[in-house]
Structures are given as C-alpha cells and as structure tokens.
C-alpha cells in the first residue's frame, strides 16, 4: 500500500473473524489473563504474542505503534506519554550498551537541550554540541571523542536547518554510534529517517501525527537492532501512552497525508508573502533557494513538500513589538505548540527556548524579533489577511 492508504488502514482490524470492529477499540484493561497459567507464563516470558499488563503492552497502544511503524518503515515502535518521554527513552536505549556520550545538534528544541544538560549530564553522560549541517565538524567531533549516539532534528526548531541524515548516518556507523532523529517537523510524509540509515526516530505525537490539539503523546520508531532494548526500558520505567490518547492519535494519523499536504501548501504561500512584506526582515523556510541547506533540501525532500513551519524576523523589533504584533492577530492562535489544524504562532525566546540562556539563544540565532508560525489547514487567504492586519 502507498503512504496514504497505510495511514488509513495500518493498525486497525488486526484480528481475523466474522465480527471485527472497523476501527481499533479503546482497551482500558490494565491486566489480562489466559485460560491457563502455562499460556500466561509464555506471554510473560515473551515466548508468544499476547498481553499481560498494560505497562508492558496494550492492544490500543499496539495498534497505534503498528500504524506509525508502517508509515516510518520501522521494525517496531513504542508509544510514550509525551514527545520528551519518547526522546528520553530513545536516548536511554541508544546508550544502553554504547559509550555514555551524546553528540547533539547545536540547533534543537529547548526542552531537548535541557534534557541533555540538566538530566543526562548530571548522571555522567558526556554531552557535546556540533553544527550538524557541517559534515566536517561532525566527523571531527566523532574522531576526537567517539559518541554513543548522535542526536538531531530532521528540520531544526525554530530556524529550520536541515542536516544530511544519510551522510550523518554513515558517520555514526563508522564510530559505532546510534543515530537518533527527531522527525516531528517533517513527518514521515516528507522524510523517513530510518530509510536513510537512522536507528531510532522520535515524534511528538502531540503535533502533526495526532494533529488536532487534543492529544499529548510521543512515539519512538526503531530498527530491529534497538527495538528490544527500547521495549525493555519501557517495561521497567513505564513511559507509556494511555489507551484513550492512543485511540485519538490513531484517528488523527488517518488524515495525516491530507492535512500535511494542505499545511505545506499554505506554508509556501505564506512564506512567499512574508518575504515581500516591508515589516519582515528575514524569512526562514526550506523552499527558499537561498536557504543555507538548499542543496540538502532538494536532495532529500519531495518536490513541493517543505514542511508547514515558517519562522520570520520582524524588522527593528524587540520583545515589546513582537508581543504587540501577536496580540493583534485575530484568527491565528497564540499557543506553544505546532502541527494542529489551526494556524499557531509563538515567540521562541519566551516559549520553546525560554530555558536557554539569552547569550546561548543569540549564538543559536534565536533573536528577540523571531516569530515561529505553524500553518494550519485554513484558507491561505484568511491566514495572510490576519498577518497583514497585524503587521500593519
């Protein structure tokens, strides 16, 4: 099946029979029993497929995991309670039998940076940052101090930088490191990092996968080599996503292709319009031929699908001017998320990267005049009209 059909059908109708529910039911049971103890013993021992306790596995969660695995081309997946829980679990699995060292992109979501520096580093994990778009710098960093894993975002938050995942995967293999890719911004419709050599792929299900602003969740998609370690950590630590949220996420994924195609088209339209507006100093968007990673984007992205995030800098603006612009917006939602059906706007310096020191934010290129826009599925004309009246 093609991507769009997989999104609709994968995970559902998993058991044969004359009376099978059309969509996956919500299974709220925490425990499961078998006809006899010998069978339950085999399920506990993972000798046969089955369910015993929902911290280990749950039918609704398994259906979501099967659905997303089909889209990402994964050997298996683990649904987690949030995107950050997914990244944390992926890092633990990657470092389990490897060097306790992480080489991370210097362009990451603020909470991911905090996870690395405030959680993993105090427990003895060596964390270093590198310009992930500079392959020579990545090679040097892996030679100087070989990492246990390399961590990057397919499209970085919020400046939309794009690394050469396939070539970074070669570098990772050369140093026996696992490659973890946060694919939230791109979604598997645009890029499937496992096909490019990644070992673990992470999504905030909250964003494009669920897509409607009503689910908090994450998922880790794994190759064969890392799946058992990933699930072993999950059985112990229990970062799992509940069945109600799994059901809602599955329902959202079914329309992923339709939504993201529309959102990408809206983003192209809005980015072009913003680039010509006199109040806008600079627009960050992957379709721009002057984008610093334009050659990589042309090579890895499908034609016409560049993601649905547009970041832009207001001319001669500080925090007060940015807030004034955002307060004038009438349809666009001022909220700290992305990927919903409605268009959303945030100020990275006060939200997604709030916990990053101001000087470090400046070094990352996240200035006070930067605004991040997540395009929804509304009429592009209405989105532009709202931006126009707010910009003045």
Say whether pLDDT at 307 is over 90.
Answer: yes
- What pLDDT score does 13 carry? 75
Averaged pLDDT, 206-233: 97
Averaged pLDDT, 314-320: 95
Catalytic residue among 6, 57, 182, 306: 182
CA–CA separation, 284 vs 2, rounded Å? 31
Instruction: Identify the burial level of 363 via C-beta atoms within 10 angstroms of its C-beta, where 0-12 means exposed, 13-18 middle and 19 or more buried.
Output: exposed
Tokens of 243: 């069945």
- What pLDDT score does 213 carry? 96
**In this structure, are residues 253 and 66 in contact, taking their beta carbons and an 8 Å threshold?**
no
Say whether pLDDT at 220 is over 80.
Answer: yes
Catalytic residue among 6, 161, 207, 361: 207
pLDDT tens per residue across span 149-197: 999 999 999 999 999 999 999 999 999 999 999 999 999 999 999 999 9
Which residues of the chain does CATH 3.90.1150.10 include? Answer: 256-391
Q: Say how many C-beta atoms besides its own lie within 10 A of residue 8's C-beta.
A: 17
Active site (annotated) includes residue 118 = no
Averaged pLDDT, 231-246: 96
* Gyration radius from the chain CA atoms: 21
280-284 vs 218-222, strand pairing mode: unpaired
pLDDT tens per residue across span 94-139: 999 999 999 999 999 999 999 999 999 999 999 999 999 999 999 9
Say whether pLDDT at 352 is over 80.
Answer: no
- What pLDDT score does 47 carry? 86
**In this structure, are residues 369 and 314 in contact, taking their beta carbons and an 8 Å threshold?**
yes
CA–CA separation, 297 vs 156, rounded Å? 13
Assigned fold of 3-253: 3.40.640
Active site (annotated) includes residue 207 = yes
DSSP 259: H
pLDDT tens per residue across span 263-293: 999 999 999 999 999 999 999 999 999 999 9
- What pLDDT score does 56 carry? 92
What residues have CB less than 8 Å from 236, skipping those under 6 apart?
Answer: none
- What pLDDT score does 350 carry? 81
Of 219, 212, 253, 207, nearest to 23 by C-alpha is 253
Strands annotated E in the chain: 76-80, 101-105, 126-130, 149-153, 178-182, 200-204, 218-222, 280-284, 309-314, 333-334, 344-346, 370-374
CA–CA separation, 212 vs 263, rounded Å? 13
Active site (annotated) includes residue 41 = no
pLDDT tens per residue across span 2-61: 999 999 999 987 765 667 888 899 999 999 988 898 888 888 888 888 898 999 999 999
- What pLDDT score does 273 carry? 98
- What pLDDT score does 310 carry? 98
pTM of the model: 0.95
Q: At 198, is the pLDDT very low, low, confident or very high (cuts 50, 70, 90)?
A: very high
Q: At 323, is the pLDDT very low, low, confident or very high (cuts 50, 70, 90)?
A: very high
Instruction: Find where tokens 């362009």 sit.
Output: 107
CA–CA separation, 113 vs 348, rounded Å? 14
CA–CA separation, 76 vs 13, rounded Å? 18
Catalytic residue among 57, 109, 306, 361: 109
Averaged pLDDT, 248-257: 98
Supply the mean pLDDT for the chain: 95
Active site (annotated) includes residue 55 = yes
Output the CA–CA distances (angstroms, integers) from residue 25 to 15, 56, 206, 218, 246, in the order listed: 12, 18, 20, 20, 10
Tokens of 197: 């050599």
Assigned fold of 256-391: 3.90.1150
Catalytic residue among 13, 55, 251, 269: 55
Of 49, 58, 7, 52, nearest to 28 by C-alpha is 58
Which residues of the chain does CATH 3.40.640.10 include? Answer: 3-253
- What pLDDT score does 21 carry? 84
């Amino acid at each position: 099946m093609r991507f769009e059909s997989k999104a609709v059908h994968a995970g559902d109708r998993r058991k044969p029979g004359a009376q099978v529910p059309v969509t996956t039911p919500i299974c709220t049971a925490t425990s499961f029993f078998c006809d006899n103890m010998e069978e339950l013993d085999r399920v506990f021992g993972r000798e046969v497929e089955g369910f015993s306790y929902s911290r280990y596995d749950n039918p609704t969660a398994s259906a979501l995991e099967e659905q997303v695995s089909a889209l990402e081309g994964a050997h298996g997946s683990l649904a987690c309670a949030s995107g950050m829980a997914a990244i944390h679990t992926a890092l633990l699995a990657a470092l389990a039998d490897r060097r306790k060292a992480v080489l991370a992109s210097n362009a990451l979501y603020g909470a991911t940076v905090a996870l690395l520096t405030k959680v993993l580093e105090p427990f003895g994990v060596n964390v270093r940052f590198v310009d992930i778009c500079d392959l020579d710098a990545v090679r040097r960093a892996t030679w100087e101090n070989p990492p246990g894993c390399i961590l990057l975002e397919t499209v970085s938050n919020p400046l939309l930088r794009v690394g050469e995942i396939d070539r970074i995967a070669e570098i990772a293999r050369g140093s026996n490191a696992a490659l973890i890719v946060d694919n939230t911004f791109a979604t598997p419709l645009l890029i499937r990092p496992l096909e490019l050599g990644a070992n673990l792929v992470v999504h905030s299900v909250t964003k494009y996968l669920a897509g409607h602003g009503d689910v908090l969740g994450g998922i880790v998609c794994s190759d064969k080599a890392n799946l058992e370690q990933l699930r072993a950590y999950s059985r112990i630590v229990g970062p799992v996503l509940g069945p109600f949220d799994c059901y809602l996420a599955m329902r959202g994924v079914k329309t992923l292709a339709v939504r993201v195609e529309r959102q990408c088209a809206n983003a192209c339209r809005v980015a072009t319009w913003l680039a010509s507006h006199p109040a806008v100093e600079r627009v960050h968007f992957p379709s721009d031929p002057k984008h610093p990673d334009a050659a990589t984007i042309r090579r890895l992205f499908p034609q016409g699908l560049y993601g649905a995030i547009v970041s832009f800098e207001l001319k001669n603006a500080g925090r007060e001017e940015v807030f004034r612009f955002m307060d004038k917006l009438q349809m666009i939602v001022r909220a700290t998320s992305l990927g919903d059906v409605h268009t959303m706007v945030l100020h990275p310096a006060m939200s997604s990267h709030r916990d990053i020191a101001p000087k470090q934010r400046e070094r990352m290129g996240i200035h006070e005049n930067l605004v991040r826009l997540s395009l929804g599925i509304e009429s592009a004309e209405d989105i532009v009209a709202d931006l126009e009246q707010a910009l003045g």
